[in-house]
Amino acid sequence: MAKRIAFNQYGGPDVLQWVDFEIADPADHEVQVENKAIGINYIDTYVRSGLYPVASLPSGLGTEAAGIVKKVGSAVTLFKPGDRVVYCQAAAGAYSELHNVAEERLAILPESLSFEQGAASFLKGLTVQYLLRQTYKVKADEIFLFHAAAGGVGLIACQWAKALGAHLIGTVGSAEKARIAKDAGAWATINYREEDIAARVSALTQGEKVAVVYDSVGKDTWEASLDSLRRHGLMVSFGNASGPVTGVDLGILNRKGSLFVTRPSLFGYITNREELDRASAELFSLIASRAIKVNVPEQQKFALRDAARAHQVLESRATQGSSLLLP
Domain boundaries, the chain: 2-121+269-326, 140-264
pLDDT of residue 240: 81
Task: Report the half-sphere exposure of 171 (CA within 13 A, side-chain side).
Answer: 24
* Residue 259 main-chain phi, psi, to 5 deg: -80, 165
Q: Rounded to whole angstroms, how far apart are CA atoms 155 and 148?
A: 9
Q: Rounded to whole angstroms, how far apart are CA atoms 82 and 85?
A: 9
pLDDT < 50 regions, the chain:
none
For domain 140-264, the CATH class is alpha beta
pLDDT of residue 207: 98
Q: Residue 213: what residue type?
A: V
pLDDT of residue 30: 98
Global confidence as pTM: 0.91
pLDDT of residue 242: 80
Give the whole-number percent of the chain exceeding pLDDT 70.
100
Q: Rounded to whole angstroms, how far apart are CA atoms 97 and 80?
A: 19
CATH architecture type of domain 2-121+269-326 = Alpha-Beta Complex (3.90)
pLDDT of residue 258: 98
Q: What's the pLDDT tens digit per position in 122-137?
A: 999 999 999 999 999 9
Q: Rounded to whole angstroms, how far apart are CA atoms 183 and 130?
A: 23
Q: Which residues contact 139 (CB under 8 A, 6 or more apart)?
A: 164, 166
Task: Report the half-sphere exposure of 114 (CA within 13 A, side-chain side).
Answer: 11
